[in-house]
C-alpha cells in the first residue's frame, strides 16, 4: 500500500511537470509567432519603402528626361528656323560690307569688328582682375569682415540687370570722365558685368586646392607668394579659364549695356582706336529685325548665324588654349 501511494505521488509530480513544460512550450511558441509576425511587418515596411523609392527614382528620371527633351526640342526648333530663314542671305557681303539701307549690299563688318574689339578688351580687363581678387580674398583675406563683405557684394552683382552696368558706365565714364560713347566705355561695362563670375569661380576653385599642398610647400621653406603662384594658381587655371569661356560667351551676346552706351548708331567705318564710336553684332541684328521688310528679317537671321559661328570659333580656341595650358601645368 505504501508503494502504491508513492507511485501516486510520483505520477502527480510528473503530470504537474508536464503541464509546466507544455505551458513553457506554448509561451515560447507565442513568442516565436510574435517575432515572426514582427519580422513580416518589418519586411512589408521595407518592401513598401523600396517600392516608394523605386517609384520616386523612376519619376525623377522621367521628369529629367522630359525636361531635357523639351529643352533640346525648343532649341532645335529655334536653330532650324534661324537657319532656314537666313541661309539664303549668307554671302561675303555680309562679312565685308558696312551697314546699308539696301538689303543686297548691307553687311555687318563694323559690328563684327566692334564686337571683337569690345569683348577682347573686356576679357583682358576682367580676367586678371577677377583672378587677383579671388586669390586675395581666399589666400590673404583670412575670412575677415571686409573679405566677407566684398564676397557678398560680388555675389549680389551677378544678379544685377546688365542694363544697370551700361547706365553706370554711361553716367560716370562717358559724361563725368568725358570718354564719350567709345569702345573703352563698353569694354569696361562688359568687364564689370562678367567680373563676378570670374572672381567667384576663382574663390571656389582655390578652396578646392588641398591644404596639404600648401603645408608641404611651407614645410619646404616657401613663402606665401610662392605658395600662391607656384602651388595654388597652377591648379586653378583650368577652372578659371572655363569661367572665362562662359564670360566670353555672355559678353559677346550682351546687347542692353551696349545699347545704352553706344545707341543705335549707323557706323560705316572700322574702329581704329579704343576711343572710337562703335556698334556690336546684337545691335545690328536688332536694327535689321525691327524693320518691316521681310528681306531685312532674313538678313537678321543670317546675322544670327554669323554671330553663333564666331562665338563657337572663339569658344573652340579658348578650350584649346585651356587644354594646352592644363597639360603644361600637369607636366
For the stretch 141-155, pLDDT in tens is 777 788 888 888 888
* Mean pLDDT value across residues 323-329: 73
Whether residues 83 and 153 share a domain: the answer is: no
Whether residues 16 and 149 share a domain: the answer is: no
How many domains, in total, are found in the chain?
2
89, 119, 134: which is the final residue of a domain? 89
Residue 288: pLDDT over 70: yes
Task: Tell me what pLDDT residue 41 has.
Answer: 61
Radius of gyration of the chain from its Cα atoms, rounded to whole angstroms: 37
Residue 45: pLDDT over 80: no
Residue 225: pLDDT over 90: no
Task: Tell me what pLDDT residue 74 has.
Answer: 93
Neighbour-count burial of 25, counting CB atoms closer than 10 A to its CB (0-12 exposed, 13-18 middle, 19+ buried): exposed
* Mean pLDDT value across residues 240-249: 84
Whether residues 223 and 130 share a domain: the answer is: yes
Residue 227: pLDDT over 70: yes
**DSSP of 108-153:** -HHHHHHHHHHHHHHHHHHHHHHHHHHHIIIIISTT-HHHHHHHHH
**DSSP of 216-254:** HHHHTT--HHHHIIIIIHHHHHHHHHHHHHHHHHHHHH-
- Residues 164, 165, 166: CA angle, nearest 5 degrees: 90
Share of the chain above pLDDT 70, in %: 82
Q: Please give the DSSP secondary-structure letter assigned to residue 171.
A: I
Distance CA 124, CA 103 (A): 35
User: Which of these, 74, 78, 112, 75, lies nearest to 92 by C-alpha position?
Assistant: 112
Residue 15: pLDDT over 60: no
User: Which of these, 95, 89, 135, lies nearest to 228 by C-alpha position?
Assistant: 135
Whether residues 48 and 59 share a domain: the answer is: yes
Residue 104: pLDDT over 60: yes
CATH of the domain at 285: 1.10.3720.10
Whether residues 180 and 319 share a domain: the answer is: yes
Whether residues 162 and 82 share a domain: the answer is: no
Confidence of residue 4 (pLDDT cuts 50, 70, 90): very low
89, 119, 141: which is the final residue of a domain? 89
- Residues 124, 126, 130: CA angle, nearest 5 degrees: 130
Q: Which domain holds residue 39?
A: 1-89
C-alpha cell at 204: 571656389
Distance CA 5, CA 311 (A): 114
Any idea which of 49-63, 115-129, 130-144, 294-308 has the lowest mean pLDDT? 49-63
Whether residues 66 and 141 share a domain: the answer is: no
User: Which of these, 255, 203, 209, lies nearest to 232 by C-alpha position?
Assistant: 209
Distance CA 248, CA 245 (A): 5
Whether residues 46 and 122 share a domain: the answer is: no
Return the sign of the alpha-carbon dihedral for residues 172, 175, 178, 182. Answer: positive
Confidence of residue 121 (pLDDT cuts 50, 70, 90): very high
Q: What are phi and psi for residue 176, nearest 5 degrees? A: -70, -50
Whether residues 115 and 247 share a domain: the answer is: yes
Whether residues 73 and 117 share a domain: the answer is: no
Residue 314: pLDDT over 90: no
8 Å CB contact between 114 and 267: yes
89, 104, 127: which is the final residue of a domain? 89
C-alpha cell at 200: 567667384
Amino acid at each position: 500500500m505504501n508503494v502504491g501511494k508513492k507511485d501516486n505521488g510520483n505520477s502527480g509530480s510528473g503530470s504537474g511537470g508536464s503541464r509546466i513544460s507544455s505551458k513553457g512550450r506554448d509561451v515560447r511558441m507565442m513568442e516565436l509567432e510574435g517575432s515572426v509576425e514582427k519580422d513580416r511587418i518589418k519586411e512589408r515596411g521595407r518592401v513598401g519603402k523600396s517600392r516608394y523609392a523605386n517609384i520616386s527614382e523612376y519619376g525623377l528620371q522621367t521628369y529629367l528626361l522630359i525636361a531635357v527633351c523639351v529643352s533640346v526640342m525648343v532649341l532645335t526648333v529655334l536653330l532650324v528656323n534661324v537657319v532656314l530663314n537666313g541661309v539664303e542671305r549668307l554671302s561675303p557681303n555680309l562679312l565685308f560690307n558696312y551697314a546699308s539701307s539696301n538689303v543686297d549690299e548691307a553687311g555687318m563688318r563694323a559690328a563684327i569688328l566692334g564686337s571683337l574689339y569690345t569683348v577682347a578688351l573686356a576679357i583682358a580687363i576682367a580676367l586678371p582682375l577677377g583672378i587677383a581678387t579671388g586669390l586675395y580674398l581666399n589666400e590673404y583675406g583670412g575670412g575677415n569682415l571686409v573679405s566677407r563683405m566684398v564676397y557678398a557684394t560680388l555675389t549680389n552683382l551677378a544678379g544685377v540687370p546688365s542694363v544697370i552696368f551700361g547706365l553706370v558706365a554711361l553716367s560716370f565714364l562717358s559724361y563725368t570722365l568725358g570718354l564719350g560713347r567709345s569702345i573703352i566705355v563698353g569694354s569696361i561695362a562688359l568687364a564689370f558685368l562678367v567680373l563676378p563670375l570670374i572672381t567667384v569661380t576663382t574663390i571656389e576653385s582655390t578652396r578646392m586646392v588641398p591644404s596639404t599642398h600648401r603645408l608641404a610647400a611651407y614645410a619646404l621653406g616657401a613663402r606665401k607668394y610662392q605658395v600662391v603662384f607656384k602651388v595654388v594658381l597652377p591648379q586653378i587655371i583650368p577652372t578659371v579659364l572655363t569661367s572665362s569661356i562662359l564670360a566670353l560667351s555672355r559678353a559677346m551676346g550682351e546687347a542692353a549695356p551696349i545699347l545704352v552706351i553706344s545707341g543705335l548708331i549707323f557706323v560705316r567705318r572700322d574702329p581704329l582706336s579704343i576711343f572710337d564710336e562703335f556698334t556690336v553684332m546684337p545691335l545690328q541684328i536688332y536694327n535689321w529685325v525691327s524693320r518691316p521688310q521681310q528681306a531685312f528679317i532674313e538678313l537678321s537671321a543670317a546675322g544670327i548665324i554669323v554671330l553663333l559661328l564666331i562665338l563657337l570659333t572663339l569658344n573652340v580656341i579658348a578650350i584649346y588654349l585651356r587644354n594646352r595650358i592644363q597639360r603644361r601645368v600637369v607636366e
